[in-house]
Amino acid sequence: MFQSDITSKGPPGRTSRTRWEIDTMTTLLCPWSSLSATLKAHTSDVRAVNSPTNDMILSASRDSTAISWQKSPSHPKFTPEAVIRASTRYVNAVAYISPTPDAPKGYVVTGGQDAIVNVFSLSSPKEDPDFSLLGHSENVCALDVTPGGTIVSGSWDRTARVWKNFNLAYELKGHELSVWAVLAVDEEQILTGSADKTIKLWNQHKLISTFRGHQDAVRGLALIPDLGFASCSNDSEIRVWTLGGDLIYSLSGHTSFVYSLSILPSGGIVSGGEDRSVRVWKDGECSQVLVHPAISVWSVSTMPNGDIVSGCSDGVVRVFTEVEDRWASPEDLKAYDDMVASQALPSQQVGDIKKSDLAGTEALNAPGKKPGDTKMIRNGDIVEVYQWDADNTTWQRVGEVVDAVGQGRKQLYQGKEYDYVFDVDIQDGVPPLKLPYNVTENPFTAAQRFLQTNDLPLSYIDQVVNFIEKNTAGVKLGSNEEYVDPFTGASRYRSGGNSVQTTNLGPSTYVDPYTGASRYSGNSAAPSAVPPASSEYMDPFTGASRYSGAPPSKPPTSASPKRIPMAAWTLYKPANVPLMRQKTFEVDGRLRDEISTSSLAMYPQELASLEETFAYLTHITDPKLSNSNLPTPTASNVDAIIQIIQRWPSAALYPVFDLSRLVAAFCPGAFDTPALKSRFIQALTTAGEWSSPWNLPLQKSREINLTLVLKALANMFQEGTKLDEPWVNEVLSALSLLPYEVLSKVQRTCLATILFNISCTQHSSPLDTLQRQRVFELALQILKNERADSETVYRTLFAVGNALYTMKSSGNLLKPSQNQVLDETLPSISQTFGSEARVQDLIGEVASLL
């Protein structure tokens, strides 16, 4: 009971006392925090909290929102003042920028799975952010802000980025795995913590030093004034360092991952983790454990008045205080204690348990050794966990131990967080393979990713899915998330329901970059030109059905075409035009404000021209707006767009490229001459850097621009287009410059859509021999190389089938060499996508036309 303390685990200079003496003194000198408020509005995990003032709390959640909670003397309870739709996916980080003249209430900064850092003014919160900071390529999981308003972000893409005046200042590269934590020491120095177990100190963009010591991923950082900083980790430890790299002391007590840290005004440390607890550390000792009725305490924050805020996996924000006047009512405190006591703890969380070795309820007669001390006892056939309440000198029941389904805590694999990481034995004598899985995933998606990563045959997919389902039995499976563009991370423009429906070519729910709208609507009331796919289960990433045996060695043949010829153009029309306009003029304003770029800004006549174009597109894309007599854009409006494209830096062009996409779709009459179309095509491909080397990885801006230019080209081919004009050859020549292997899944689908639209057009305006040859060359390139995305193959097969049908109808024949390649390629496609009926049927139709 009177075990000696170990001085090396505590702050330097502490005299040697017994642990019981120190714990007793801590209890007598330190007030005890109790529940003050429970804030409920989120519908999923609260992943981040921030409390910049005593009257404001910011929270971010997996429900895709951030909430600003406020209280005032007239409204003493925290209530949601603003609910911000910060993303279409999980929001994992939140920070605050102090008030400025432009934002008297300050800004809230959010980051999440869409890989975008968004900034919203709290003075006049809007649906769309005031600033969107693009650059990260994966989940943004950490944010911090300096007193001067500089933003620091950390991401799964292994980088941290520093943003000044809402523009990228520099990128911090050096970590080997995800950057889970960032901390602004001052305006120039930054600390980053990573899943590679290290902490790095940077001065601007230069790496100064690397701190090593944690045995697992570093999850949180907090600045300790006049001392250094604290770090926490999945190794359950908290470490306190000097900025010079010396370890001052470490704190042990958490029994699982420690996710978050914050510093009290008194200098104490507050931590939260996967063991359901918030812990308060004072003078190197744990002075209090605040058990929560939720497995994960994702985030903690401290207020200037010393109150503690937590955000948890139960979707609730809670406030705890030492000030008795701010405690919750006795009824609420009792209800909270009862809720905590009713929780069941997974056995993995408390370690291996042998019931016969546990003492009975008589063990509760002995006092605890320190505040927050835990004890397991046997009470009949169940095992209960109690925590020592030193303030009231009693044991408090905190839960019952149960066997858990699967893992008892989050797992890290390659720097990313999963609910499960399974070991899968494939062959005797060979180390098991790792299968990461989240319960919100579709099991077929996880299985396919596992097989592709390890170069295993897709014939194993049912076995892997069965393995996942068996080992996660009882856990809710499936995901409600829509598909997100794999290279942009997601859209920043969001559709307001004003999208124009387009042809349904399959089960995809792809979200358009910058518009957020789907280009297909599976529940659309509009008739589908392409017959729907079969109703069996479809893989959400590839469109493939469950594997059901070996595919036929040769494609089936069809006696007569059922779907070919097809003349139903697929145009990329969905858009949020007002936001597109805002982004365009925002970029123009930044160019205008810089002396070095002011000459690139729009001229008055260009501003007026773009306003006319945006006004027309706003009305034509929004069915809620009444029809007006706005003039349709003409050649002069197209010319203004071309001039801007030719003048602006490529990295700034994405909203203008997106505008070009809409003008091509909705205003075909504006391109009144073939020469204007040629200028338009040349401007798009030149500014899109199509003639530059395609070295991977591509810059983010170039990737985005490539997708938008491909969509604009697809929209140039629609009903009434004439294929006997020079610009068509220029498009085909430009497409031949694109190495297929550098294209993302979305870009490959765009390329296939261009060929599909051309094939629909050639029914009324035939291709000449050279054009037909180029179309077949591009189509064969796709069919020979595409092994993952059935939608791309499906569209390309339609393009080939349409072309063959027209040739056969006019008595023309395919070149023997192309006929041979196509004849050899179809069986391979059939084998790769053999489980998807719509692809097999279309292969049969194409084969019958050879």
Please tell me the predicted confidence (pLDDT) of residue 455.
67
In the numeric block, the tokens 């600033």 are attached to 131
- Residue 456 located in a structural domain: yes
pLDDT tens column, 535-569: 333 332 233 333 333 333 334 444 444 678 877 88
pLDDT band, very low/low/confident/very high, at 840 (cuts 50, 70, 90) = confident
- Among the listed ranges 194-198, 662-666, 811-815, which one has the minimum average pLDDT value? 811-815
Nearest-angstrom CA–CA distance, 481 and 518: 13
The answer to whether residues 602 and 572 belong to one domain is yes
- For the segment 10-37, the average pLDDT, to the nearest whole number, is 46
Query: Is the pLDDT reported for residue 12 higher than 80?
Result: no
End position of a domain, from candidates 700, 716, 732: 716
Same domain, 746 and 831: yes
Pair 397, 414 in one domain:
no
**Does 247 have pLDDT greater than 50?**
yes
pLDDT tens digits, one per residue of 164-178: 999 999 999 999 999
> In the predicted model, is pLDDT for residue 411 greater than 50?
yes
Residue 427 included in any domain = yes
Query: 174 and 248 share a domain?
Result: yes
Distance CA 571, CA 290 (A): 56
**Is the same domain home to 234 and 287?**
yes
Q: What CA–CA distance (Å, rounded) separates 3 from 314?
A: 38
What pLDDT is stored for residue 727 in this prediction?
94
Same domain for 693 and 785, yes or no, is no
Would you place residue 523 in the very low, low, confident or very high pLDDT band (cuts 50, 70, 90)? very low
Tokens describing residue 446: 């996880």
Higher per-residue pLDDT: 844 or 551: 844
What is the distance between the alpha carbons of residues 779 and 797, in angstroms, rounded to a whole number?
A: 8
- Examine residue 734 and state whether it is found in any structural domain, yes or no: no
CATH of the domain at 262: 2.130.10.10
Please tell me the predicted confidence (pLDDT) of residue 608.
93
Specify the amino acid at residue 712: A
Q: Are residues 569 and 658 part of one domain?
A: yes
The tokens 């294929």 sit on which residue? 723
**Which pLDDT tens digit goes with each residue over 703-751?**
889 999 999 999 999 989 999 999 999 999 999 989 999 999 889 999 9
Q: State the Cα torsion 577-583-584-588 to the nearest 10°.
A: 160
pLDDT tens, position by position, 379-393 = 877 777 777 777 667
- Count Cβ neighbours within 10 Å for each residue of 613-623 and write b for 16 or more, e otherwise: bbbbbbbbbbe
Is 231 found in the same domain as 279? yes
Burial string for 318-327 (b: 16+ CB within 10 Å, else e) reads: bbbbbeeebb
What CATH number is attached to the domain comprising 760?
1.25.40
Per-residue model confidence (pLDDT) at position 372: 65
Q: Identify the pLDDT of residue 355.
A: 59
Does residue 317 share a domain with residue 186? yes
Q: Bridge partners of 375?
A: 386
- The pLDDT of residue 430 is 54
Q: Which domain holds residue 623?
A: 561-716
600: amino acid identity, one letter: L
Amino acid at site 718: Q
Domain with 418 in it: what CATH number?
3.10.20.870
**Which residue reads 């020491």 in tokens?**
185
Q: What is the pLDDT of residues 431-467, one digit of tens each?
A: 677 888 887 666 767 877 787 777 676 656 667 877 7
Residue 735 lies in a domain: no
Looking at 450, 468, 486, which one is the last position of a domain?
468
* Confidence band for 321, pLDDT divided at 50, 70 and 90: very high
Does residue 802 sit in the same domain as residue 682? no
DSSP bridge pairs for 38: 318
Q: Is residue 121 part of a domain?
A: yes
On whether both 425 and 395 belong to a single domain, the answer is no
Angle ∠(7,8,13) on CA atoms, nearest 5: 60
Question: Which of 652, 682, 716 is the last residue before a domain boundary?
Answer: 716
In a domain, 9, yes or no: no
More confident residue, 278 or 847: 278
Q: Is residue 281 part of a domain?
A: yes
**What pLDDT, on the 0 to 100 scale, is given for residue 429?**
53
Does 210 map to a domain? yes
Q: Say which range, 79-83, 206-210, 551-555, 590-594, has the weakest mean pLDDT.
A: 551-555
Band (pLDDT 50/70/90 cuts) for residue 349 is: very low
pTM here is 0.49
How many structural domains compose the chain? 5
What is the β-pairing status of strands 218-224 and 416-418? unpaired
Q: Is the pLDDT of residue 66 over 70?
A: yes
Residues 368 and 454 in one domain: no
What number is the average pLDDT over the span 37-50?
95
Mapping DSSP to helix (H, G, I), strand (E, B) and coil, where does residue 218 land? Answer: strand
Q: Distance between CA 574 and CA 71 in Å, rounded?
A: 40
**Which segment of 199-208, 413-422, 437-446, 496-505 scores lowest on mean pLDDT?**
496-505
